[in-house]
Structure 1
Amino acid sequence: MSRANGITIKSTRELDYMREAGRISSQTKAVLKDAIRPGVTSRELDAIAEREIRSLGAVPAFKGLYGFPATICSSFNEEIVHGIPSRRRLEEGDIISIDLGAVVGGFYSDTAFTVGVGRIDEDSQRLIYATEESLRLAVEQTRAGHRVGDIGAAVQTYAEGLGYGVVRQYVGHGIGRSLHEDPSVPNYGTPGRGAQLRVGMTIAIEPMLNLGTWDTRVLDDGWTVVTADGSRSGHFEDTVAVTENGPEVLTA
């Protein structure tokens, strides 16, 4: 590992640890998607995720970090991020965002997705599609020589063009030996501005789009972030490495 302007550049061996952490996170996502259905509690999903991550030889990235009590963040409907798993049961028509990560060899992965529970309304379907598409567009900008502002601008231009609120208070980030490293990776910005991307950098890109405004508030539990206007929110995230051949999604 080396550093450039305070940002860590990963060695080949370190990237291999992150690839394995990403693979385990991706496999856990697939298991969770199969388990999401009406009647299941978010606490049950949390247990499934922890069991899967540990069975594959990794450690849950979130549990105990900053005092967070669970393996996954589970956020329903108007909840954006950092929801705490509970006995709340998924209901037909809900949408749920799951955020999770794994640690292998001391290196982190971080990923998130939003899905509908059973049949959902068209606005929620379009929100989920747009949030995932904004992540894809952001990943395309994750190339050596580009800047963090190029990533944020890709999300903002696409999402605001469709009328969605782009969350500003919570952003993507560098990732490696720590879950959160430099640089911050906002989902808004100006092309050509911000930290320059270099081969060996690894970042977590995580657009959060709201059906209403971009403003947020935090519930009394001190963790759960919700939309200020009560509108629904979508969240997708991948851990991405900058390589000589372009972006490599480690959590695909």
Structure 2
Amino acid sequence: MIELKTSAEIERMHVTGRFVAEVLSEIGRIADVGVNLMDLEHHARGMIEKRGAESCYWDYAPSFGKGPFRNVICLAVNDAVLHGKPHDYTLRDGDVLTADLAVKIDGWAADSARTVIVGTPAAEDQRIIRATEEALEAAIEAARPGNRIGDISAAIYAVACDYGYPVNTEFGGHGIGRTMHEELHVANRGRAGRGLKLRTGLTLALEPWFARTTDQIIYDEDGWTIRSADGSRTAHSEHTVAITEDGPKVLTRREAELAAA
């Protein structure tokens, strides 16, 4: 069942979203050459505990995962892109790191992800990150009352096509609110004018992710971490968005994004 949120409920999600943005900004700041993924995991744990928030990932056990996810943040490196399980890995110069975080505060969830380059950037890595960011902004722009879910999916796919990146449709965006995953799957490829009509009060986590040269995925032995099937590098951008009468409201904007707007 799709639950439309009131203005007051959206503002409560915005409180959570601002905290998610704060954590992701901090993780991006401290992710550097020589830093271990478990250091980032424990730093996120400390921030969540201090805020009195609740991790949406801890003990999460969906059908596509292998047992409960006993971490508070997803951290994926290079060809890994989704559901990256933090482990004993020390970041190297030129690594591409995706951090994905979802928490609840006072019963309301928000979800966001970003990809950063550790140390020396490579042009192609910058390009694919930029593609996901542009696809996300296009998706947000399409998230308006009267449009349809397919308009969001088509907007993401159009950017991917412009950049020449293939698109996987197994994992994409989703509804969000009282739980991390609510009704509605928002594929990263679709046809404009198709699907559910968007209404005021709908809240969605929109998350374009691309691999350079494949739309196929494989799983690590941990049963969680998803990688590009051909080992090509990846990127992932995600925001929680509310559809309002005044247009899309992004609930997880980071300070750097707000300053650049």
CA shift for structure 1 position 63: 1.4
Quote the Cα distance in structure 1 between the aligned partners of 2:196 and 2:217. Answer: 26
- CA-to-partner distance for each residue in 1:58-103, whole Å, 9 max, x for gaps? 1122112221110110000000101111110010010010000110
CA shift for structure 1 position 12: 2.7
Q: Which runs of 5+ in 2 are unaligned?
A: 62-67, 254-261
Is residue 25–residue 53 contact of structure 1 (8 Å, CA) maintained in 2? no
Q: Does 1:24 align with 2:19?
A: yes
Correspondence list, 1:138-217, <5 A: 138-217=139-218
- CA-to-partner distance for each residue in 1:130-188, whole Å, 9 max, x for gaps? 11111011100000111110011011111122111222111110001111111111111
Is residue 54–residue 60 contact of structure 1 (8 Å, CA) maintained in 2? no
User: Which residue does 1:137 correspond to in 2?
Assistant: 138
CA shift for structure 1 position 13: 2.9
Q: Does 1:64 align with 2:65?
A: no
The residue type equivalent to 2:44 in the other structure is A
The residue type equivalent to 1:242 in the other structure is I
Quote the Cα distance in structure 1 between the aligned partners of 2:49 and 2:16. Answer: 11
Give the percent of matched residue pairs that are identical in Structure 1 and Structure 2.
Answer: 39
Quote the Cα distance in structure 2 between the aligned partners of 1:21 and 1:91. Answer: 32
CA shift for structure 1 position 105: 1.6
Greater Cα shift, 137-146 or 53-62: 53-62
Is residue 135–residue 237 contact of structure 1 (8 Å, CA) maintained in 2? yes
Say which SS state the counterpart of residue 8 (structure 1) adopts. Answer: coil
- CA-to-partner distance for each residue in 1:97-137, whole Å, 9 max, x for gaps? 00001101211110000000011211111111111111011
Is residue 141–residue 151 contact of structure 1 (8 Å, CA) maintained in 2? yes
Q: Which runs of 5+ in 1 are unaligned?
A: 1-5
User: Which residue does 1:3 correspond to in 2?
Assistant: none
Structure 1 length-normalised TM: 0.96
User: Which residue does 1:12 correspond to in 2?
Assistant: 7
User: Which residue does 1:44 correspond to in 2?
Assistant: 39
CA shift for structure 1 position 16: 2.3
Is residue 74–residue 83 contact of structure 1 (8 Å, CA) maintained in 2? yes
Runs of 4+ that moved beyond 6 A: none
The residue type equivalent to 2:90 in the other structure is R
Is residue 76–residue 94 contact of structure 1 (8 Å, CA) maintained in 2? yes
The residue type equivalent to 1:198 in the other structure is R
The residue type equivalent to 2:171 in the other structure is Y
The residue type equivalent to 2:98 in the other structure is S
